[in-house]
Amino acid sequence: DDILQIVEIVGNKVDVLMIPKVEGPWDIHYVDQLLAQLEAKHKVTKPILIHAILETAQGVKNVNEIAQASPRMHGMSLGPADLAASRGMKTTRVGGGHPFYGVLADAGAEGGERAFYQQDLWHYTVARMVDACMANGLKAFYGPFGDFDDDDACRAQFRNAFLQGCVGTWTLHPKQIEIAKDVFSPEVKEVLFAKRILEAMPDGSGAVLIDGKMQDDATWKQANVIVKLAKMVAS
């Protein structure tokens, strides 16, 4: 009913519809066909795109098929709370890590306290989503972070997603907007160094040494990603 009303009332003003709990390509096929009929009925002049939210184990399992399901696909987002429940994960947190999920250092010969390194619960899932999106020309987004009082943890989780390839994230609280804008913009020094790589290798061929670091066609591609992102953020 929501889609019926949205397209009828504001169809020509909507760019993307976010579809929750997408479990497979069949969900996208259904929405695709429904949108096609509604666009024709209400004379919508521009195709409405689809953004899938991964919130179930089945959806993560079928992530690549979902990405390929329709030319309308815009991107995907992670829905960590519902996904945690679907997987049977033992956490009540919305995104972020968990103090008990980590690696304990080996015991030393002299005994003493062993270091514990907390790990990222969502690293695997975000990586799968990013791979599926990038392989099919889509955009990957991180999901919500539920602890409004922990700005540092929010920033760290957003940064992990940014470094893994996500282009943006959800925010649940207004105070998280500035954190997201800051994190999902490349650092100035990274942009300047990337520009130096492109200037030293205009066509991306060969290899050069910049500040003692070898640069070749692979790092040239990485530099392109950073410079293009900087231009997009600035526009």
pLDDT in tens, 171-180: 999 999 999 9
Query: Measured between alpha carbons, how far is 143 from 78 in angstroms, rounded to an integer?
Result: 5
Confidence of residue 110 (pLDDT cuts 50, 70, 90): confident
β-sheet bridge partners, residue 103: 117
The second-level CATH assignment, the architecture, of 2-184 is: Alpha-Beta Barrel (3.20)
* Location of each CATH 3.20.20.60 domain in the chain: 2-184
**What percent of the chain has pLDDT above 70?**
100
Per-residue model confidence as pLDDT tens digits over 41-100: 999 999 999 999 999 999 999 999 999 999 999 999 999 999 999 999 999 999 998 999
Q: Quickly count helices (H) and strands (E) in the chain.
A: 10, 9
State yes or no: pLDDT of 235 exceeds 80. no
**H or E stretch covering 75:** strand 73-78
List the beta bridge partners of residue 50. Answer: 17, 73
Distance of CA 188 to the CA centre of its chain: 22
pTM of the entire structure?
0.86
- Name the residue among 17, 70, 14 with its Cα closest to residue 42: 14
Residue 194 in tokens = 């990337």
pLDDT of residue 233: 80
Q: Quickly tell me which residue has 């015991």 as its tokens.
A: 107
Amino acid, res. 38: L
